[in-house]
Amino acid sequence: MIGKKPHSGGPSRRIRANVGGSRRSLGLALAIVAISIVMTMVSPYFFAAGNFLNVARAVAITGIVAAVSTPMLISGNVDLSVAATMGLSGMTAGALLVQELPVPVAILGALVVGLLMGFVNAVIVVKFQVNSLIATIGTAFIARGVAFLVNSGRSIFIPAESYVNLGQGSALGIPKPVFYTVVVFVLIGFVMRYTKVGAHIYAVGSSPEAARRAGISVPKITWGVFLASGFFSALAGVVLTSQAGSAFPYGGQGRELEIIAAVIVGGTALTGGRGSITGTILGVVLLGIIANSLNLVGLPVPYQDISRGLLLVAAVATDQLSGRTLGGRGVFRGLRAGTEES
Amino acid sequence: MSVKKGRVVIEGIGLSKSYGPIIALDNVDIEIRAGEITALVGDNGAGKSTLIKILAGAVIPDAGEVRVNGERVVLRTPADARDLGIETIFQDLALAPDRDVVTNLFLGREVLRKGMAGKFGMLDRGAMEAQALTQIDALGVNIPRSTGVSIGEMSGGQQQSVAVARGAFWAKTGMFMDEPTAALGVRESSRVLQLARQIAQGGVAVVLISHILPHVMELADRVVVLRHGQKVAELTEDISMDRLVTLIVGVDADDAT
Amino acid sequence: MLQVTRVFVATVLALVIAACGDGDTEDAAETTAAPTTTAAPATTAAPETTAAPETTAAPAGGLGAVIMELPTTISNAEQAAEATWVVWDEDSCSFVETDDHPDFYQAVLREAGDSGYRFAWTPEDNVFDTLIVANESFRVAAAASGADVTEFDNQYPSEEQPLVVADLVVQHDPDVVLSMNVLANLNPAIMSQYKEACIPAVAHSVPHEGQPFFGGGEWYAVGRAQAEYLIAVAEGRGWTTGDVDVLLCSHSAFVQDRTSPYASIIGFREVVKESFDVGDDNIHELECPSDIVTDQANVADWLTAHPDTQNIMGFGINDLRTLGMVNALRESGRAETSIAGGVGLSQESVGPLCANDPTFLTSVDFVPQLWGEYGIAIAQDIAEGNPIPSEIYPQATVVDAETIDQATC
């Protein structure tokens, strides 16, 4: 054996993972600070605890799904059914509550539906080798359709006060949904940064072939990220319906792109293999602060869309400039967008 | 090192493999010795890759058996071979380009923390870093070692050095190198080959597949020539370029045996 | 559950109205929106009075006593005088414009008597909630009036079934067909079939040129009615124009004119300006993409930027958006100084209204539970050769905590 003996020189400096991601995070943090300084000068209402809580409440639900979409994208897959899963699981919870079932049962039912969505997505992607982008567009339509069937297209006003109290109001002065989001971020951030599973998710996204040759089961990792995605999207659906006080079949509709935008702005690559939860948190907060700022100064919606779009394009352009290409990798696998690996 | 140079550690006996009507390997015997570099040469389709893949567990032979340290083994997956201390270094696609050296060195074989944290799958990053840097220093590999530079940001030679360093780190018995210099420049190639020699000197049985005959002649202790799926020669001395070319293309087949 | 109770209410209502003879007559057409006089079932009950004397007004031909007069708005809220009126012309097998019409149209459901009229109703489907209610109302109205009504299911989203239904209707040969086919591309084929068979056809939900249109909701009038209701509440609380800000929760996805649900925003804005003198500076239109929680966030941001507002009058383009707005008002501690109204009487408003929410005060019911009564009354007029407006809408009713049908709670 070579080199197993302790080396007297020893490593002089710690090796940090993902320096590129750290650079991105620094950039985002600076952007947030810059916008905050400008907004503090422009609007007297921006720099106030109450307003920051507004932002936190506004991004809480997007945050939960963005958190779980980060390992999804890092693994080289994408789940576009997250928003439909939110709608379907929310309707499930609502339907169970209307039957006067206990709140924990309703929440459990919603989470099971989420896991089921993850299961179906994983079967299609792993067993039938369908590109995840396409697969989850399909299942998104299906889930949305089923969500409409749950109550014949009608929404469900939530009768259980204890359920609504999970999402409405504040605890310790902080809007309740924010707590769930923080827990989810900490959990997923921990897994990605400090565990073997996290390391394997990065490896599979970076090079499925290298991961496979190194003895990592690519199908297992893919199963894992899809089940997690379904589960946490369902959790977001529960938070959404409890905060709204109503379950509605198109709950979450349109949020999938907002969520993926936040993750990508946060430095996670659609090509897989790169990204961090810290970056995603900053991406979510940045988009939230921009929306909040434009609301505060009363700029009309089109400007919000434009700014969000510019930010996304700028973020992805940075990726391209740093020498990354999209073809054939990550979510583009199997789309014949470029050279196939393997 | 305790392993005695020249002892046969990996053996293939009567190995055959067909893909449909195409016979890739036809009743080949091979012995690979510790501390030696065995070169495997032959034209395209001669069966080199098939042979090495069988010994590495990536291909299951139709007939024949593999022995490691004298014991018969069944290799169903590359993981089976790895468990026996047999590593394979590929031309490319062996590393995760977005990850750093440490992560790649321990890819799929991460070191977990002790106790409860380990049970939850927590990595012992510190231990992995220390071992990785020790390995890099021991091999004298010229790769950025002080920060988490991702593999993708390194030169081709540095990347291949990482792959070789990883193979060396885990290889107890044998290390197979399939065209390790194909994508490299002259200087980078010689650095990688130097590593191969260093690893062999550590007592590992090294197998080198290469088209570049000067490399083979410079480096190999033993050359096995394959043609049309059959072993046509095994040379340990008097290895000349002319002789090798003749054996590989089979123009003067009568002289070969 | 909900639909059953609605149908039940409609049935009881119809029977009560049919049974009781007289009472005080009042103008149901314009004043229904005022909160004092409103009341969902009450409004529809307002013209209940009608009764026998009116029957004399009905042209001879076999129709019997009046069962129900229905509050009706016409021509996208333009008044009757400006509306185009049409009458069925047997010779040309088409509807022709006519100047010979009353000033005012009211759908009046009458007993079938010995008229022998046969009608056909072809609903989009029998699955969607609104249509379950509407189809049941046709059965209820047919039973109450003795009219001969046959239902043919278009089985949305089938592309073939509406054409099959048209064939069946032609074979059935009714005196009038109420055609609810929402696949607009099929309407030319369907309508030409009816013309060929010389059957007068009313287009429901999707207009078709040359046919009278019987629509569902009438957005503009709804917005006006909600504004009138909330202004009355504001005045009752002693609010004055100077201390009120109006928040409108709309969505940029809607075409910003009178052809879309956005018309309710236009109507609401007009009334608060005209009747309560609120200036444009105090009317704020916010973007509400209808996710409730996103709507809430946008309203919350606006509230943060306007800490000095005293009283808020809110209106959402539908109940979901109003609920998001109300959630934001409550979480910012303004529930007591805000009032809000929605549209649709969906679950998002039924819940708060039943719970007597201090902020979410009102919504609007599009009365699918009365579509049958309207439809048959209109068909009776066509069969009788009476002129009708080329566009007819049921008058939607304003609902609040007092007037909401407790059975739906």
DSSP string, B48-110: HHHHHHHHTTSS--SEEEEEETTEEE---SHHHHHHTTEEEE-SSS-S-TTSBHHHHHTTTSP
pLDDT at A178: 96
The whole-angstrom distance between A203's CA and the closest CA on chain B is 6
B214 by Cβ neighbours in 10 Å (0-12 / 13-18 / 19+) ranks as exposed
pLDDT at C52: 34
- Is A14 in a helix, a strand, or coil? coil
B238 or C271: whose pLDDT is higher? C271
Place of tokens 């539906």: A113
* Rounded CA Rg of chain C: 22
Q: Which B residues, 187 through 246, put their C-beta within 8 Å of a C-beta on chain A?
A: 198-199, 202
Residues of B in contact with A203 (CB under 8 A): 96, 99, 103, 107-108
Contact A207 B96 (CB under 8 A): yes
pLDDT at C128: 66
State the average pLDDT over residues A175-194: 96
Residues of B in contact with A20 (CB under 8 A): 150
Contact A15 B147 (CB under 8 A): yes
**Separation in Å, CA A215 to CA A74, B94, C118, C120, C158:** 19, 11, 76, 70, 52
The whole-angstrom distance between C289's CA and the closest CA on chain A is 9
Calpha distance B129→B135 (Å, rounded): 10
Residue B15 banded pLDDT, cuts 50, 70, 90: very high
For residue A53, the number of C-alpha atoms closer than 13 Å in the C-beta half-sphere is: 17
Tokens in use for A285?
Answer: 């907060």
Q: Domain residue spans in chain A?
A: 27-324
How many residues make up chain B in this entry?
257
Residue A51 banded pLDDT, cuts 50, 70, 90: very high
Contact A295 C302 (CB under 8 A): yes
Residue type, A292: N
Chain A, nearest residue to B169 by Cα: A2
Q: Domain residue spans in chain B?
A: 8-96+174-249
Contact B93 A206 (CB under 8 A): no
Tokens in use for C389?
Answer: 């407006």
Query: Residues of A13-39 as b/e, b for ≥16 C-beta within 10 angstroms?
Result: eebebbebbbebbeebeebbeebeeeb
Contact C304 A250 (CB under 8 A): no
pLDDT at A97: 95
Residues of B in contact with A202 (CB under 8 A): 96, 98-99, 103
Calpha distance C116→B237 (Å, rounded): 115
pLDDT at C139: 94
Position A16 pLDDT exceeds 60? no
* pLDDT digits 0-9 by tens, A129-165: 999 999 999 999 999 989 988 887 778 888 888 999 9
Cβ neighbours of C58 (radius 10 Å): 20
- Is C360 in a helix, a strand, or coil? strand
Residue A19 banded pLDDT, cuts 50, 70, 90: very low
A276 in B contact zone (CB under 8 Å): no
DSSP string, A214-250: TT--HHHHHHHHHHHHHHHHHHHHHHHHHHHTEE-TT
Cβ neighbours of C174 (radius 10 Å): 24
Calpha distance C19→C143 (Å, rounded): 14
Percent with pLDDT over 70 in chain A: 87
Residue C15 banded pLDDT, cuts 50, 70, 90: very low
Residue B20 banded pLDDT, cuts 50, 70, 90: confident
pLDDT at C4: 45
DSSP string, C67-95: EEEE-EEEGGGS-GGGS-EEEEETTTTEE
Calpha distance A30→A19 (Å, rounded): 17
A142 by Cβ neighbours in 10 Å (0-12 / 13-18 / 19+) ranks as middle
Interchain CB contacts (distance < 8 Å): A and C: 100
Nearest Cβ partner of B130 from A10, A18, A207?
A10
* pLDDT digits 0-9 by tens, B182-234: 777 787 788 888 888 888 988 899 999 988 888 888 888 899 999 888 888 88
The whole-angstrom distance between B84's CA and the closest CA on chain A is 14
Cβ pair B28, B212 in contact under 8 A: no
The whole-angstrom distance between B90's CA and the closest CA on chain A is 10
> Is it the case that chain A and chain B have 3 or more CB pairs lying under 8 Å apart?
yes
* Domain covering B8-96+174-249, topology: Rossmann fold (3.40.50)
Cβ pair B10, B172 in contact under 8 A: no
> Is it the case that chain C and chain B have 3 or more CB pairs lying under 8 Å apart?
no
- ipTM summary value: 0.82
Position A77 pLDDT exceeds 80? yes
Position C309 pLDDT exceeds 80? yes
Tokens in use for A290?
Answer: 């921009």
State the average pLDDT over residues A66-90: 96
B232 by Cβ neighbours in 10 Å (0-12 / 13-18 / 19+) ranks as middle
Chain B, nearest residue to A272 by Cα: B98
State the average pLDDT over residues B144-160: 77
Which domains are seen in chain C, by residue range? 26-216+368-393 (3.40.50.2300), 219-365+402-408 (3.40.50.2300)
Q: What is the DSSP letter of A124?
A: I
Query: Residues of C71-83 as b/e, b for ≥16 C-beta within 10 angstroms?
Result: bbbbbbbeebeeb
pLDDT, averaged across chain C:
81
Position A118 pLDDT exceeds 60? yes
Residues of A in contact with C300 (CB under 8 A): 54, 57-58
Calpha distance C339→C269 (Å, rounded): 15
pLDDT at C11: 43
* pLDDT digits 0-9 by tens, C140-170: 999 999 999 999 999 877 889 999 999 999 9
Position B82 pLDDT exceeds 60? yes
Calpha distance C151→C145 (Å, rounded): 16
- Left, alpha or beta for B14 (phi > 0: left; psi -120 to 50: alpha)? left
Cβ pair B54, B15 in contact under 8 A: yes
pLDDT at B178: 87
State the average pLDDT over residues A266-285: 91
Calpha distance A289→A271 (Å, rounded): 27
Residue type, B160: Q
Q: Which of C323, C368, C369, C316 is nearest to C343 (CA)?
A: C316
Least confident range of A195-204, C58-67, C88-97, C195-204: C58-67
Which of C248, C254, C291, C303 should one mutate to test binding to chain A, selecting the residue with the greatest count of A CBs within 10 A?
C291
Question: Any idea what the Cα angle at residue A14 is, between residues A8 and A19, rounded to 5°?
Answer: 145
Nearest Cβ partner of C323 from A170, A240, A244?
A244
* pLDDT digits 0-9 by tens, A207-234: 998 898 888 999 999 999 999 999 999 9
Calpha distance C10→A309 (Å, rounded): 51
- Left, alpha or beta for A328 (phi > 0: left; psi -120 to 50: alpha)? left
* Domain covering A27-324, topology: ABC transporter involved in vitamin B12 uptake, BtuC (1.10.3470)
Cβ neighbours of B139 (radius 10 Å): 21
Contact B93 A7 (CB under 8 A): no
pLDDT at B144: 72
pLDDT at A124: 96
Strand partners, C365: C397
Q: What is the DSSP letter of A127?
A: I
